[in-house]
Each structure stands twice: as structure tokens, then as C-alpha cells.
Amino acid sequence: MTTVLIIIASVVVLFIVLLMYSRHKLKNLPKVDAHESILQLSDQNFNHQIKGKVVLVDFWAEWCAPCKMMLPVLNEVAESSNGNFSVAKVDVDKNQALAQKYSIRSIPTLVAFKDGKEVARFIGVKNKSFLMGEMKKLQAP
């Protein structure tokens, strides 16, 4: 019986240590600036910027660690878009009406728009190859 309790206690302690380590690593992610071609959208310019083109919009927040992890990926996607589509970001804390309009319940949420209409939604951290593949599908007639 004591052996079982020792094993359980060891597992719990190990889990707590891993949780603290992960939290520390996520909080100390280096700050990455958005690529110059990434559009910063707001309640005021959103509809105008997504009309008549294909746009991948990242709904994010400053305090969100997974959102910070997505920024380098979005930078690469924006750089690789070759003008076929645009990449944009919406800060959900500053633009709560947009987040509510598009029912953003968790972040990061990436929403693809074609001609102003939502055509795809991806929740969570995604890699460049996945996003490029999905955006390529949307460009087909």
C-alpha cells in the first residue's frame, strides 16, 4: 500500500513540475513582430479589408501564449502568399464586437474569408504547411 502511495505522489509531483516548467517557457516566449504585409483589422476597417479577396484572419489576444506561438507561422504564411491571399489579425480584446459577431470562443482562431464570407475556420495552433494547403484550396475557382 505504501509503495502505491509513493508512486502516486511521485507522479503528481512530476506532473506539477512539468506544468510549472511549461508555463514558464510559454510566458517567456520572445516577442515577434508581425510581418509588414499582415493587416491589422479593427471594427472600423474589417468589412472593407475582407471584401472581394481571400483573407486569413487570426483572432488573437496579447495575453494568449498559443497566439504568440502562431505569429511566426503567420509571418511565414504571409511571406509565402505571393499576393494570392492576405493575412490579417484581429485583437479580440480591442475588437470585442467582431469577436462576438464571428462567435470566437477560443483563441487562436483563424477564419478564412472569400469575398467577405466565412469559408473555413481553424481553432488552435496550426503549422505553415496546413495553412498554406487550406488557403490553396480556397483559391481554386
Our answer to whether residue 52 is catalytic in this structure is no
- Separation in Å, CA 25 to CA 19, 44, 77, 135: 10, 36, 24, 31
Can 64 be counted among the known catalytic residues?
yes
Determine which one of 38, 56, 67, 70 is catalytic: 67
- 138 burial (CB, 10 Å; 0-12 / 13-18 / 19+) is middle
Catalytic residue among 54, 61, 64, 65: 64
Q: Which residues have a catalytic role annotated?
A: 64, 67
